[in-house]
A and B are shown apart, each in its own frame.
Chain A
Amino acid sequence: MSTIEEPTAGTVPGLYPFPVPGRRIAAPARPDPGAALAEARRSAEEKAAEIVRLRWQVAEVAGDELAECAQEMAIRFAAGGRLFAFGNGGGSTDAQQVATAFLHPSHGLSLPALCLTSDVAVLTALSNDVGFDVVFARQLATLGRRGDIALGLSTSGGSFNVLRALEEAAHLGMLTIGLTGDQGGRMAGLGLLDYLFVIPSSSAHRVQEAQATVYHVLWELTQRALGVSPPDTD
């Protein structure tokens, strides 16, 4: 491949670029390499400052609710509840991290948690036979029960399979927690979540970074509510 390729308009839905042959874009003019380095440095510094600010914003806006949510999670765990986490793309890796943070913590109590994107056989079977929209809801309908906890992540708030699963979880009597970004999207409009944490940023990347803090803080506060203090780290 000698030039950068762009999908031909109309061959794929316009949202994301796909590696298909298509119209060729002229390569950009040869730039000053020093300028690229300076731009990259500046960008890294800006993004680093942005996430620090965003975290404090989340602490101010959602601090009390985080404490309350963790208390509710601790009550569910203490009564035998389990945690189910789910999301798409980067959100699926967050769901995995949520599950492993609770199930195999760096310290403290191991608590039952499962990520609903880990079983590729279940995921692809449901997607192929029924549809991608039900991949999490169907698993919850089978595995979940009253007193369990559902934690769904969607940076846009519009992931249909996440919304369907949160509806199913609410229907089952589970504690429902949604993590989303920007204005909250359709997740904010569901009106049935016990806890909704909206990261106020239009950058999907910053939203994901702050979401990682939110679920880690929820984990830490849940441990604390169950009598475990964090070790002395910086």
Chain B
Amino acid sequence: MPVTSTMHPAVGAAFLRRDRAGRALAADSERIALACREMALRFRRGGKLIVFGNGACGTDAAHLTAEFMHPVIVGRRTLPALALSNDCATVTGVSGREGLAEVFAHQLRRWADPADMALGISHDGRCENVLRGLETAEELGLLTVALTGGDGGTVARHGVADHLLIAASDDPAVVKEVHVTLCHLLWELVHVFFEKAGPVGEGMR
């Protein structure tokens, strides 16, 4: 592999590519806040958050789960969350027998309660297994949230998400970075609603 040296202008270009998508996120503040309000309501009713995605999005699923299960801020309560991309035995097992499209749907059918939330992450909204996971969650009565990028893909077109948040970029790396911020916002704002409401069990208005 030859090593060339043409890089310095590329640094500026790389950061510039992130700027528009980063700025566009602020315009979604209402969508984000509304999703978090409903998620907080589900948590208060005893629901848990089930997160899934492929590749980079699978790492975001694990990251978001860690945020809820082990809060970074002292005094924040832990909230139940589960990532479906972590169990290699199950993921490869289901992929081998039923196919990759079923890996999340299969686990959801076993784990989901109607009070739960399903959060599917797909950088272009075109992951068949994320779509199947969200469809299955919808059938089971879960609140469905999707994080995508690009034009939202089939996840957007099929209308399988009650709350759809789209990172304004076609670059998978940039989409992932916006998703990391979105995951952090989801965690933080769920707590804003969760803690501002009355005692647990009474629900929220």
Tell me the chain A residues, 1-26 only, with Cβ under 8 Å from chain B.
Answer: 1-6, 14-19
Tell me the chain B residues, 153-205 only, with Cβ under 8 Å from chain A.
Answer: 169-174, 176-177, 180-181, 184-185, 188-189, 192-193, 195-201, 204-205
CB within 8 A of B184: which of A47, A216, A230? A47
Q: How many residues of A contact B (CB 8 A)?
A: 75
Q: Mark A204-234, 1 if CB is under 8 A from B, else 0.
A: 1100110011001101110011110010011
Are A59 and B56 also in contact (CB < 8 A) when A6-B75, A93-B63, A97-B176 are? no
Roughly how many angstroms separate A201 CA and B58 CA in the complex, as a whole number?
26
Are A220 and B10 also in contact (CB < 8 A) when A15-B74, A40-B33, A97-B176 are? yes
Are B71 and A45 closer than 8 Å at their CB atoms? no
New A-B pairs, 15, CB < 8 Å, besides A44-B185, A93-B63, A94-B59:
A2-B200, A15-B74, A16-B74, A18-B78, A28-B195, A28-B198, A36-B193, A40-B32, A89-B66, A92-B62, A97-B59, A104-B55, A212-B177, A216-B176, A217-B14
Are B3 and A55 closer than 8 Å at their CB atoms? no
Chain B contacts to A: CB under 8 angstroms:
1-8, 10-12, 14-15, 17-23, 25-26, 28-30, 32-34, 36-37, 55-56, 58-60, 62-63, 66-67, 70-72, 74-78, 169-174, 176-177, 180-181, 184-185, 188-189, 192-193, 195-201, 204-205
Q: Distance in Å from the Cβ of A159 to the closest Cβ of chain B? A: 14
Roughly how many angstroms separate A78 CA and B55 CA in the complex, as a whole number?
25
Interface SS of chain B: helix
Residues of chain A within 8 A of B3, CB atoms compared: 71, 74-75, 78, 225-226
**Least CB separation from A78: chain B residue:** B1
What are 16 A-B contacts defined by CB distance under 8 Å? A4-B195, A4-B200, A41-B33, A43-B188, A43-B192, A45-B29, A56-B15, A63-B15, A67-B11, A70-B7, A78-B3, A96-B62, A216-B177, A224-B4, A230-B171, A234-B170
